[in-house]
Amino acid sequence: MTATHASAPVGKDSGNAPGTAHTAPQPAPRRPVVRGRALRTTGFHLTAGLLSALWLLPIALVLVTSTRTFDDIAAHGVGSWPHSFTLDGFRQAWVDGGQQQALINSMIVSIPTVLLSLGLASMAAFALSRYDLPFRRVLLLLMLAGNLLPPQILLIPVSKLSEVLGIYDQLYALIGVQVGFGVGFYVFVLHGFMRAIPAEIQQAAVIDGASPWQIYWRIILPLARPALAALTALSFTWIFNDLLWAITVLRTDSQMPITASLIGLQGQYVSMWNVIAAGSVIAAAPTVAVFLRFQRHFVAGLNLGAVK
């Protein structure tokens, strides 16, 4: 008989040297990782805070200057620590400087222009995005191409056209110009939002007997509210702060909006920086109020456009 010898069992650690025990790997310490992340976070907040302070510094300087007296500024300088407080600069800019009428003119132009532009743009975007119209891409590209033209080359044609039509130096001429040059961009933006709305919603409304107008008014517009709110804030800011088209189609001082009135205010109060700063604050207040009002919808509109 042949004797057989039992072989030693081979395990996972058979490759280890004899007499050594296998030990589990120790986890790496996490304290340096956490400390590095905290340093990066702190550095980010310090940098962002410094940039924000630099951004707000001119605004704070204008606000402080608007509440100082002329004698204080003349004696100590514009950038010095204030030694007085008065609101007389606002009164001078509002009453004597003509800011009251200029602000009314800006509102007369801005509010109807925003409503009319977004109304026309939303209807055009609804038709181009929800229905298979012939040459719809060509129409969309033509609307977008109109916004690529520099406005400086159109100043003389627009001025001559307003004179031929007999609407020169009228506020509704400025409204027409702002609507004509803004609708194309608004259509392009709203087209992207409305196109992302699922087609099944519109199909269900058609099955229920809804007309195209009911689909547009009761379904598409409520779903596109974030985009409309974002465009409302942007368009109001652009139109309210516009100067180029205002001085192109308007001539009389009593018809000028708030931006053109600031130029006249600077010419009237050459070295009275408190009055000029007060007029700047008055001119900026409506746009700040509109942005704060639509801030939540504005951010929602940006997020909706980023994720589709």
Residues 66 and 199 both lie in one domain? no
Same domain, 188 and 274: yes
How far apart are alpha carbons 120 and 35 in whole angstroms?
55
Say if 210 falls within a structural domain. Answer: yes
151 plus 205 within the same structural domain: yes
CA distances from 67 to 89, 268, 272 (A): 7, 19, 12
Greatest pairwise CA separation for the chain in angstroms: 128
Span between the terminal Cα atoms of the chain, in Å: 81
Within-domain flag for 191: yes
106 and 255 assigned to the same domain = yes
Residue 31 included in any domain: no
- One domain for residues 61 and 197: no
Whether 93 maps to a domain, the answer reads no
Residues 77 and 141 in one domain: no
Q: Do 131 and 254 fall into the same domain?
A: yes
Q: Is 94 within the bounds of a domain?
A: no
Q: 295 in a domain, yes or no?
A: yes
Name the nearest CA neighbour of 265 among 281, 289, 246, 288.
Answer: 281
Based on the fold, state whether residues 202 and 267 are members of the same structural domain.
Answer: yes
For residues 108 and 81, membership in a common domain is answered with: no
pLDDT of the chain, 308 residues: tens digit per residue: 444 444 444 444 444 445 445 555 555 555 666 777 888 888 889 999 999 999 999 999 999 999 999 999 989 888 888 999 999 999 999 998 889 999 999 999 999 999 999 999 999 999 999 998 888 889 888 888 888 888 888 899 999 999 999 999 999 999 999 999 999 999 999 998 899 999 999 999 999 999 999 999 999 999 998 889 889 999 999 999 999 999 999 999 899 999 999 988 888 888 889 999 999 999 999 999 998 888 776 666 555 544 44
SS (H, E, C) 2-22: CCCCCCCCCCCCCCCCCCCCC
Are 193 and 227 in contact by the 8 Å Cβ rule? The answer is: yes
164, 75: one domain: no
Q: How far is it, in rounded angstroms, from Cα 250 to Cα 170?
A: 7
> How many other CB atoms are found less than 10 A from the CB of residue 8?
7
Domain total in the chain: 2
Residues 65 and 118 in one domain: no
How far from the centroid of its chain's Cα atoms is residue 97's Cα?
Answer: 30
Residue 23 located in a structural domain: no
Range of the domain at 46: 41-86
User: Distance (Å, rounded) from C-alpha 52 to C-alpha 43?
Assistant: 14
19, part of any domain = no
Q: Which of 86, 120, 142 is the last residue of a domain?
A: 86
Report yes or no: 258 and 99 within 8 Å, Cβ to Cβ.
Answer: yes
Q: Are residues 144 and 257 in the same domain?
A: yes
Which of 86, 116, 141 is the endpoint of a domain? 86
Chain center to CA of 187: 16
Q: The domain spanning residue 143 has which CATH number?
A: 1.10.3720.10
Q: Indicate the pTM of the whole model.
A: 0.80
